Structure 1
Amino acid sequence: MKKNSLNGNRYGFQLTIKELLANSKLTAGNQEIVYRDKMRYTYSDLFERINRLGSALAGLGVKRGDTVAVFDYDSNRYLESFFAIPMMGAVLFTVNWRLSPDQIEYTMNHAEADVILINTDFLPLLSSIRGKLKFVKKVVIFSDSDQAPKTDAAYDAEYEELLAAASPDFEFPDLDENTKATTFYTTGTTGLPKGVYFSHRQIVLHTMSVCIGVSGHDTPLRFSTSDVYMPITPMFHVHAWGFPFIATMMGVKQVYPGKYEPEMLVKLIAREKVTFSHCVPTILQMIVVSPIAKQLDLSAWKVIIGGARLAKGIAVAAINLGISVMTGYGMSETCPVISVSNLKPYMKNFDNEQKSDIAIKTGMPIALVDVRIADGDGNFQPNDGKTTGEIVVRAPWFTKGYHKDPEKTEDLWRGGWLHTGDVGYMDQDGYIQITDRLKDVIKTGGEWVSSLDLENAVSMHNAIQEAAAIGVPDSKWGERPMLLVVLKPEFRNDGITSEVLKSHMKSCAEQGAIPRYAIPDQYIIADDIPKTSVGKVDKKRLRALYTGAI
């Protein structure tokens, strides 16, 4: 079809990422996008920069089906890449730069990445594996400095110079909605990283459904065009949970913090009046215990928590600071959002304790997601708030499988449902509650103990900053629970001992929060708890450290 004409063949409207920009082009041209204290521009500038990036990449030889790998912090450049690369018909590969060099080398070769866009901070990493990358032809660098980077690493262009020389009038092609748009790799806990992938259609459907899930409920957590959005989740991690697509479609002011530095995060929240974010529990915990947080008015800040269960102690602390919190649930394979813990209208006037009980639930399925609870034989269980089983799900945007791995794909989708590996139940109000990961359930004397319930119970002690529960071998019971905790700084010389913690857990059992047989026998007070590359507690490593098991 010719540009600016009605001539040509009929075009069956396709659900492509390009269409997510249509509304904000009409309504949000003067809205702002901010990158740290480095850059501030409008949506009109964004659209031009997306065009220039498409033109520049085409000039480097990128064509339909090629894979472009991005190594960066949360930035405006990443946002531009979220759109320009898939809109060309190429595949956006968001690289988890927290993986080991060997793992990154594996994912780059497995994905057959052709071009790299990379922050200069990661050039030493690239240099260490560059000779082993089999498919890379071009490297473009991102730099926050006006000076040329001091590096021996070879590169072909600098991003801003490349955009300045490119055409602002690049015309993105009309694509089939089933064209592959993005790929990235799950870290998992066993074996090599697994590649998942999503089409344009899947990303658009996920964007629309999550938008309904967070914007269509009249609650304090509602996301609207008057909000100011700042991700505190790496953009390499499942498209930053899809929110850059949602925010851009809505025309919301966006703030990108770059490298996560507590002072910069707090500064941006205050200066730019940030009202909507998402992060893992460890980031929220870091903020709520920060002395700076107590000096700020955070009553307008709404935060979605995902990646791990939100402990009630953290939820209560956040709500007491005026922060509105809710849990989101999903996984890399689901693009990622499956559910969000919206308050129902009658819950608006709940007190903070009641709101925290809702906030820590896994949530209600968003539109177009079918969730069931299945037993070990694949039989669906009642939604009675007590019968547990594996959470199995279906939706039109879930990955069709793992890249080049039909065996694991078949296991993921056995029986026609995506198997999450999470154990939980659903109540009559439609709220899901995860009780544990299948592999993290502690099996003691024929009973199953939820490690998450133990972590939640101990987090209610005032001295606890974070906690992790694992099962350790026991000759009599098979396994027994062990609790590892990190104390808040002000309690580290305050006489908190294993006996104090066990007394607290006994009290929780007496109140019915946990069964008596679940009270841990061992308590370890640690300086820190190891995390995975995406901020989750690394229980595989904990089991190896404390039990010799994996």
Structure 2
Amino acid sequence: MQDDVQKATPSAHAYPLLIKQLLHTPFVQAPGQEIVYRGQLRMTYSTLRERIARLASGLKGLGVQHGTTVAVMDWDSHRYLECYFAVPMMGAVLQTVNVRLSPDEIAYTIDHAGAEVLLVHTDFLPVVEAIKDKLENVHTFVYIDEPDSVAAAHSIDFVAEYEAMLAQSEAHYDFPDFDENTRATTFYTTGTTGLPKGVYFSHRQLVLHTLTLMAALASPVSGQRFHRGDVYMPLTPMFHVHAWGMPYIATVMGVKQVYPGRYMPDRLLHLVRDEGVTFSHCVSTILHMLLNNAESESVDLSKWKIVIGGGALPQGLARSALERGIDIFAGYGMSETGPVLSLAQLPIGSEAIDLDEQVRLRCKTGFPVPLVDLRVVDEEMNDLPRDGKASGEIVVRTPWLTQGYLKNPEASEQLWAGGYLHTQDIANIDPTGNLQITDRIKDVIKSGGEWVSSLEIESLISLHAATAEVAVIGIKDEKWGERPVALVVLKPGAKASESDIKQHVMTFATSGRISKYAVPQIVKFVDALKKTSVGKIDKKWLREQFA
């Protein structure tokens, strides 16, 4: 059967889905809306429009052209937002450099991406000074000054300073049309084994992710929403998966945006208070840090909506946030998925649900957002029953998934085996379609012939009154194969014994909620839990240390 493909009128315009198209609405409808940096610098969307053009003009003057990769090392700022638009709108590629990697890893990612231009915030001068001789492709360095910072000594040959370059550049730039499948961004995953892997996204993918997530966040009747009356502040670094795509969404909607620079708990809380922040997203460790900061007691958090991703949302943390009035809910995605796949938004009528059930639902992995074809399958790619029990790997298709790993065809084929992207996450789906991740494939614990979910044990231990943070890992056991070990950080001044924690978990086993094999064999109290560069608990490191 032959498709009846529509024929275009010769004069008709084939409208490509390019990032520049996201700017039409806000520049018309919200030209006077504010964008704030650290509470110190304020500009409007009209100024943003001009600065995007000036940045593109300045970069063009430095030799940036279609296909050039421009790397950025900066804190979350209005400058980063300008780069999100100006660089890909030129037809160039934006590389968002993970500044929390080791110097050698940073050098590897910049070189592997083929970056030719590097924008460097003054705080990262020591890092770039140490690795500059390893950056074989970078021929142009641009300095990002910060008025209240003291620059470290260096020998980097900067060709321009960011603000000076913009001031000297044209305030108009004619951004061209080109193929919507042109690569727009590149960044690197922070896997626990091997070198970081490069993922990449096209204009079409980022536009579709923006529009779809905007629709998903606007769909609830009330709660867990993002709308034009909100004030947005990211708590996920802008180098990490486009800050979950939210800066693009916030800009399309023309909302007030607040960029905090380097994450400092006092500053973040002051910005929430002073700028009226109502919507953020972060990993659970960041929210835990904020709620335990002394300043939080004097800040009204009751208008704040927070999406937790990058790992499970523990029930104990969710309960603490709800008690402070925070509308907290989980989101799910990964670097390879651009990132959002699902959101734990409450169903209609949820206002009648008791607190325990609300906490449970807010901590689930949630419902797939529109356009996401998500399956839970066995090893032969057969769909598993949607009974809330049968667990398998999540595989997905959506229009915005990375099409592979940069310059790594073997790993790309593994990622896309069978025509679905393999997430390596183990989950089940209940009869309502609600998804629940139980573990990463590499973290799942098999004890006594049963699969034990480390995430579920962690969530239950987080409900103990003395628990601040917890990680559960598996260690080898001659009799049972593996047994779970709980590593617990206590709240300041709190006391608990190993038997207290075990007994707490045992009550859930006795009630039938979890298997008896899920009760930790060992509970070890630690001062802190090792985190990865993006704030996730580093279980690989913990397994090596506590094996």
TM-score bracket, normalised by the shorter chain, equals: over 0.9
**CA drift at 1:386:** 1.5
Could you say which residue in structure 2 is the equivalent of 1:126? 128
Which of residues 197, 200, 216 in structure 2 aligns to 1:213? 216
Which of residues 39, 42, 49 in structure 2 aligns to 1:40? 42
Could you say which residue in structure 1 is the equivalent of 2:5? none
Could you say which residue in structure 2 is the equivalent of 1:372? 375
Deviation string, structure 1 residues 443-471 (Cα, Å, up to 9, x no partner): 11221111001101111100000100111
* SS of equivalent to 1:440: coil
Which of residues 249, 267, 290 in structure 2 aligns to 1:287? 290
CA distance in 1, matches of 2:443, 2:377: 18
* SS of equivalent to 1:134: coil
Could you say which residue in structure 2 is the equivalent of 1:60? 62
CA distance in 2, matches of 1:378, 1:386: 17
The worse-fitting range, judged by mean Cα deviation, of 243-252 and 384-393 is 384-393
Unmatched runs of 5 consecutive residues or more in structure 2 = 1-9
1:35 touches 1:257 (CA, 8 Å); kept in 2? yes
**CA drift at 1:513:** 3.1
**CA drift at 1:150:** 4.6
Moved over 6 A (4+): none
Which of residues 357, 363, 366 in structure 2 aligns to 1:363? 366
Which of residues 343, 346, 365 in structure 1 aligns to 2:346? 343
Cα 1:475–1:148, aligned 2, differ >3 Å: closer, same or farther?
A: closer
State how many pairs are aligned: 537
CA distance in 2, matches of 1:242, 1:260: 19
CA distance in 2, matches of 1:27, 1:351: 41
The amino acid of 1:207's aligned partner reads T
1:320 touches 1:352 (CA, 8 Å); kept in 2? no
- Structure 2 length normalisation: TM-score? 0.96
**CA drift at 1:189:** 1.1
The amino acid of 1:249's aligned partner reads V
* SS of equivalent to 1:342: coil
**CA drift at 1:390:** 0.6
Could you say which residue in structure 2 is the equivalent of 1:14? 16
The amino acid of 2:161's aligned partner reads E
Which of residues 117, 120, 125 in structure 1 aligns to 2:119? 117
Q: Does 1:535 align with 2:535?
A: yes
Could you say which residue in structure 1 is the equivalent of 2:101? 99
CA distance in 2, matches of 1:350, 1:253: 33
Equivalent residues in 2 for 1:417-428, closer than 5 Å: 417-428=420-431
Q: Does 1:87 align with 2:89?
A: yes
The amino acid of 1:364's aligned partner reads F
Deviation string, structure 1 residues 405-425 (Cα, Å, up to 9, x no partner): 111010001111111001111
Q: Does 1:171 align with 2:174?
A: yes
**CA drift at 1:284:** 1.1
**CA drift at 1:137:** 1.0
Could you say which residue in structure 2 is the equivalent of 1:5? none
Could you say which residue in structure 1 is the equivalent of 2:458? 455
* SS of equivalent to 1:490: coil
The amino acid of 2:259's aligned partner reads Y
Which of residues 304, 316, 320 in structure 2 aligns to 1:317? 320
1:486 touches 1:528 (CA, 8 Å); kept in 2? yes
1:442 touches 1:481 (CA, 8 Å); kept in 2? yes
Deviation string, structure 1 residues 3-32 (Cα, Å, up to 9, x no partner): xxxxx9653100000000010011010000
In percent, how many aligned pairs have the same letter? 53
Q: Does 1:187 align with 2:182?
A: no
The worse-fitting range, judged by mean Cα deviation, of 377-386 and 522-531 is 377-386
Could you say which residue in structure 2 is the equivalent of 1:520? 520
- Structure 1 length normalisation: TM-score? 0.96
**CA drift at 1:153:** 3.2
**CA drift at 1:291:** 3.0
**CA drift at 1:518:** 1.4
1:442 touches 1:470 (CA, 8 Å); kept in 2? yes
The amino acid of 1:102's aligned partner reads D
Unmatched runs of 5 consecutive residues or more in structure 1 = 1-7
Q: Does 1:257 align with 2:265?
A: no
CA distance in 1, matches of 2:300, 2:149: 38
CA distance in 2, matches of 1:12, 1:69: 31
Equivalent residues in 2 for 1:490-501, closer than 5 Å: 490-491=493-494, 494=495, 496-501=496-501
Which of residues 392, 395, 400 in structure 1 aligns to 2:398? 395
Equivalent residues in 2 for 1:400-415, closer than 5 Å: 400-415=403-418
* SS of equivalent to 1:153: coil
* SS of equivalent to 1:198: strand
1:71 touches 1:119 (CA, 8 Å); kept in 2? yes
Could you say which residue in structure 1 is the equivalent of 2:110? 108
* SS of equivalent to 2:352: coil
Q: State the Cα RMSD in Å.
A: 1.3
* SS of equivalent to 2:176: coil
**CA drift at 1:534:** 0.6
Q: Does 1:477 align with 2:495?
A: no
**CA drift at 1:145:** 1.1
CA distance in 2, matches of 1:262, 1:285: 11
**CA drift at 1:345:** 1.3
Cα 1:148–1:450, aligned 2, differ >3 Å: closer, same or farther?
A: closer
The amino acid of 1:23's aligned partner reads T
2:265 touches 2:293 (CA, 8 Å); kept in 1? no
CA distance in 2, matches of 1:298, 1:187: 31
* SS of equivalent to 1:156: strand
1:124 touches 1:153 (CA, 8 Å); kept in 2? no
